Amino acid sequence: MLDIKFIRENKDIVIAGAKKKHVTVDIDQLIVVDEKRRELQAKIDDMRAQQNVASNGIASAKSDTERQEMITRMQSLKETLRLEEESLQSILKEWRGLMVQVPNVPDMSVPDGDSDADNLEVKTWGEIPKFSFEPKSHSELMVENGMVDYERGAKVSGFRGYFLKDDGARLLWALERFVQDRFMNREGFTPMVVPSMVRRESFLGTGYLPQSEEDLYKTQDGEYLAGTAEVATMGYYMDEVIDKKQLPLKFFSYSPCFRREIGAHGKDVKGIFRVHEFFKYEQVVLCEAKHEESVRLHETLTANSEALLQELKLPYHVVVNCGGDLGLGQVKKYDIEAWMPSEKRYRETHSSSYFHDFQTRRLNIRYRDDDGTLKFVHSLNNTALAMPRILCQIVENNQRADGSITIPEVLRAYMGKDVIEKRH
């Protein structure tokens, strides 16, 4: 959420930012409603002050007649105040509804564009493999090697259901142990296992509600199932004041994740690239309210994910997301996409974003600066590892002519072998 004072004073910038993100919100109406809110709040504050004066006057009245006159006036004032407070609640409801629709202002370096097709490549790494044969898809390879069972997955779990088994399960667990070893020993990161069933407040705070509600699973008790460990991790310090000396706070968070994938029907229907239930390790950072610090940490988190792909020897590129491919709260976002030989294109494995105080203002996460003022911290997040998706790129890039799969060198000690041999 943006500061309403910032919105009032920088209306044109906010409108331009919403336009760049292709978000429809009536900023002029918000300012009109905000003016009503401020006027009514000032009126209510004045009436409450009058109440206090009247209460003191009643206590010091010199006669019963004078006291009764004051009580009568106070009762009238009390009723008027009650009606004004009801009006304020109605205005506040409209005000909050408009406020949560206002997107964060994207960084000047964010390119214009409508969708991910307009994202701008800023870096490539690694050699795209050249095969002497037509490469198979991960779906074919994993079925042929007994690593996955889609039919029984659909029978048990429904559309996009899957069972990872044998070397499919072993490869996923090897990846987990590899990433845990890399990140849990990384300086400054606190490892956490976080809830995947989360109350509405954290989804509102992180910006996934109300805009993305249709893509979330909801329980009969009102909680939601998170699609990323970011949601619960950001709720950890909700409504708290953090000691500045603790900043930056860095978390390496894990949770099962769930997404309905509304709007993705017909996309990636085969294989494990796009599924309803998956697992994620997430980097989440809270830092001082300085743009330069957010930018520095954004590059650091992105480099962490790049290092992981480099160790796995997966060719990838980094794109900066265009305005139309940014979420409501993101100031800037990188997607890291690894090569998919069967599709002859890069596909996303990681995303890296910073938000300034958009999320923390909603979640009320603050720190006291050196001059004593309370400030909202800045927040960032970045995928450390999303599974089983990354198995797609690992399997495809390491396939051999006979259908066997070479295990990346850094995973061999965890797997106990060098090759997943083709089943006959």
Q: Is there a domain that residue 109 lies in?
A: no
Domain stops at, among 49, 66, 99? 99
Residue 67 among the catalytic residues: no
Which CATH number belongs to the domain containing residue 27 in this structure?
A: 1.10.287.40
Count Cβ neighbours within 10 Å for each residue of 331-368 and write b for 16 or more, e otherwise.
bbbbbbbbbbbbeeebbbbbbbbbbbbbbbbbbebbbe
Q: Is there a domain that residue 376 lies in?
A: yes
The residue range of the domain holding 312 is: 116-420
What is the rounded CA–CA span in Å between residue 245 and residue 119? 37
Active-site choice (253, 351, 352, 379) = 351
Longest CA pairwise span in the chain (Å): 106
pLDDT greater than 90 at residue 49:
no
Active-site choice (170, 182, 259, 361) = 259
Residue 60 among the catalytic residues: no
Q: Is there a domain that residue 105 lies in?
A: no
Active-site choice (73, 274, 296, 400) = 274
> Sorting pLDDT into bands at 50, 70 and 90, what band is 202?
very high
List pLDDT tens digits, range 373-383: 999 999 999 99
Active-site choice (170, 361, 362, 389) = 389
Q: Is there a domain that residue 287 lies in?
A: yes
Q: Which amino acid is at 139?
A: S
Token pair recorded at residue 266: 């017909």
Shared domain for 297 and 382, answered yes or no, is yes
Residue 247: its pLDDT value, please? 97
Residue 351 among the catalytic residues: yes
Shared domain for 61 and 195, answered yes or no, is no
Q: Which amino acid is at 274?
A: R
Residue 58: its pLDDT value, please? 72
**Residue predicted with more confidence, 51 or 242:** 242
Number of Cβ within a 10 Å radius of residue 8:
15
Residue 421 among the catalytic residues: no
Q: How many independent structural domains does the chain possess?
A: 2
Which CATH number belongs to the domain containing residue 181 in this structure?
A: 3.30.930.10
What is the rounded CA–CA span in Å between residue 361 and residue 131? 51
> Sorting pLDDT into bands at 50, 70 and 90, what band is 424?
low
Domain stops at, among 99, 128, 160? 99
117 Cβ neighbours under 8 A, 6+ residues apart:
none
Shared domain for 81 and 139, answered yes or no, is no
pTM: 0.91
Shared domain for 283 and 396, answered yes or no, is yes
Angle between helix axes 27-59 and 64-99 (nearest 10 degrees) is 160
List pLDDT tens digits, range 256-311: 999 998 776 778 778 999 999 999 999 999 999 999 999 999 999 999 999 999 99
Residue 182 among the catalytic residues: no
39 Cβ neighbours under 8 A, 6+ residues apart:
none
Handedness of CA 73, 79, 84, 88 (dihedral sign): positive
- Region 143-169 average pLDDT: 95
Q: Is there a domain that residue 108 lies in?
A: no
Active-site choice (140, 293, 348, 421) = 348
Shared domain for 128 and 84, answered yes or no, is no
Residue 79: its pLDDT value, please? 85
DSSP run (H or E) holding 415: helix 412-415
Number of Cβ within a 10 Å radius of residue 243:
8
Shared domain for 165 and 275, answered yes or no, is yes
Domain stops at, among 69, 99, 129? 99
Lowest mean pLDDT among 64-68, 255-259, 346-350: 64-68
Segments of 345-390 assigned E as strands: 345-354, 365-368, 374-376, 378-387
Residue 268: its pLDDT value, please? 77
What is the rounded CA–CA span in Å between residue 92 and residue 39? 12
Token pair recorded at residue 331: 């100031």
Residue 356: its pLDDT value, please? 97
- Region 353-364 average pLDDT: 97
Residue 174: its pLDDT value, please? 97
